[in-house]
């Protein structure tokens, strides 16, 4: 096909099937078990040793997959935080109705006096 000898456009280069194992040689493992434990603590999650090992492997696989993006030539491209080129999406300062009475707490696991009830946190 006509792709031979031509430069690939950036958009089609960005998503390709990972070339799997060949990358392990080029990129060292990035996530350690310590980091998994640290992030789990920040997220208030508790895991068994087995789970920690599994998540370490899985997170590394994900990172490897995302590493593919480094192959794209981004010379002259400004870093963006959004996929769409949109700025200044504003609303006017107008009050709209809030949720009807009672609906705000419809999903509350526990409530009291129209408040969400949570375990006390002491400082």
Partner 1 sequence: MAYETVIGLEVHAQLLTASKIFCGCSTRFGAGPNEHTCQICLGMPGVLPVLNRKVVEFTIRMGLATHCTINAYGNFARKNYFYPDLPKGYQISQYAHPLAERGHIDILLDGEKKRIGITRIHMEEDAGKLIHDERNPWSYVDFNRSGVPLIEIVSEPDMRSPEEAAEYLRRLRDILVYLEICDGNMEEGSFRCDANVSIRPKGQEAFGTRTELKNMNSFRNVQRAIEYEIRRQSYILDSGGEVVQETRLWDDAQGQTHSMRSKEEAHDYRYFPDPDLVPILISPEWVEEVRRTLPELQLEKQDRFVGQYGIPVYDASVLTTTRALADFYEEAVKLCGQPKIVSNWVMGDLLRYLNEQKREIKDSPVSPAHVAEMINLIENGTISGKIAKEVFEEMYRSSKKPADIVREKGLTQITDEGAVVKAVEEAMAKNPAQLAEYRAGKEKLFAFFVGQVMKITRGKANPQLVNDLLKKMLTGS
Planar angle of CA 41, 70, 54, nearest 5 degrees: 35
**Residue span binding partner 1 (CB under 8 A) among the ranges 10-18, 23-31, 51-59, 79-87:** 79-87
* Residues 5-64 within binding reach of partner 1 (CB under 8 A): 42, 44
At 65, which helix (H) or strand (E)?
helix 49-67
Least distance to partner 1 from the beta carbon of 32, Å? Answer: 16
Question: Given CA atoms 20, 25, 27, 32 in this order, what sign does their dihedral have?
Answer: positive
Select 32 or 104, whichever has its Cβ closest to partner 1.
Answer: 104
CA angle 11, 9, 66 (to 5 degrees): 40
Which positions lie near partner 1, rule CB under 8 A? Answer: 42, 44, 81-82, 84, 86-99, 101, 104-105, 107, 112-121, 123
């Amino acid at each position: 096909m006509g792709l031979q000898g031509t430069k690939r456009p950036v958009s089609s280069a960005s998503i390709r099937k990972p070339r799997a194992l060949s990358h392990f040689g080029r990129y060292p493992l990035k996530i350690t078990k310590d980091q998994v434990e640290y992030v789990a603590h920040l997220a208030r999650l508790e895991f068994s040793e087995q789970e920690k090992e599994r998540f370490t492997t899985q997170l590394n696989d994900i990172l490897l997959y995302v590493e593919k993006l480094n192959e794209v030539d981004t010379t002259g491209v400004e870093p963006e935080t959004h996929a769409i080129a949109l700025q200044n999406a504003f609303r006017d300062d107008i009050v709209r109705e809030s949720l009807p009475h009672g609906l705000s707490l419809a999903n509350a696991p526990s409530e009291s006096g129209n408040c969400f009830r949570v375990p006390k946190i002491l400082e």
